[in-house]
Each structure stands twice: as C-alpha cells, then as structure tokens.
Amino acid sequence: MIATVADWLGAACLVAGALLSLAAGIGVLRFPDALSRMHAATKPQVLGVLLLLLGIALRLRSPADLGMILLVAVFQLSTAPVAAQMIARAAYRAGRLDRGLLDADELAERGADGGSAGPA
C-alpha cells in the first residue's frame, strides 16, 4: 500500500521535475541576454533536479541510494549559484549584455577602477 503511494508520488515528482527542467531549457534559449539566461539556469533548473532526485528517492528507497541522492542535492544547491555567478560576472565584464533592457546599473556607478574584489 505504502509502496504504491510512494511509487505514484515518485512518478509525479519525476514528471514535475522534467517539466521544470524543460521550462528552464526554454528560458535559456528564449531570454534576451546572458544575465536573464542565468536566472533560468539556476532557479527552475535546481528545483527540477531536486524534484527528479526526490522522485528517484521515492522509487528506490534504499539507504545507500538515499545517501548518494542527498549528496547530489547538496552539491547541486551549492554549486549552481556559484556557476551562474561566474558566468554572469564574465558576461558583465565582457560587456555581453543588452543595456536597453536594464532599468538601472549600480555596478557601473561603482566606477571601472573601483577595485575588483577578486575571487570572493
């Protein structure tokens, strides 16, 4: 009984996660510049992966697999924002952004020689 419920919940999580990952892919493709694309590459993508992992966990249900899945989730959560920041920062410094789409830019106000923070 519980196994059936877990199987169905897992299946629902897998579908939801796949749909979110699809939306993330569409966002990366359709958004106008690199900075907005990074939004699509972090939020729906991370939640999509987490849902997929939850779906897998609900179907596998063995302690060894759960440990591995937990590890993947933690690394996903901690590395996705870092990767997105690195790409966004590189895009900004290389000037690959559409200024017509920006309402404000307080980073430019800091001044070009305001001392780069270095890898923080």
Rounded least distance, CB 25 to another protein, Å:
9
Residue 120 three-state SS: coil
8 Å CB contact between 20 and 51: yes
Which residues in 96-115 contact another protein (CB under 8 A)?
101-110, 115
80 near another protein, judged by CB under 8 A: yes
36 near another protein, judged by CB under 8 A: yes
Residue range at the interface with another protein (CB under 8 A); choices 3-11, 37-45, 52-60: 37-45
* Count of residues that bind another protein according to CB under 8 A: 49
8 Å CB contact between 50 and 76: yes
User: What is 9-74 written as a DSSP string?
Assistant: HHHHHHHHHHHHHHHHHHHHHHSSSHHHHHHHHHHHHHHHHHHHHHHHHHHH--HHHHHHHHHHHH
CB closer to another protein out of 2 and 104: 104
Alpha carbons 44 and 51: distance in angstroms, whole number: 10
CB closer to another protein out of 15 and 101: 101
Alpha carbons 86 and 99: distance in angstroms, whole number: 20
Contacts with another protein, residue ranges (CB under 8 A):
20, 23-24, 26-27, 30-32, 35-36, 38-40, 42-44, 46-48, 64-65, 67-68, 70-71, 77-78, 80-82, 84-85, 88-89, 92, 101-110, 115, 117-118, 120
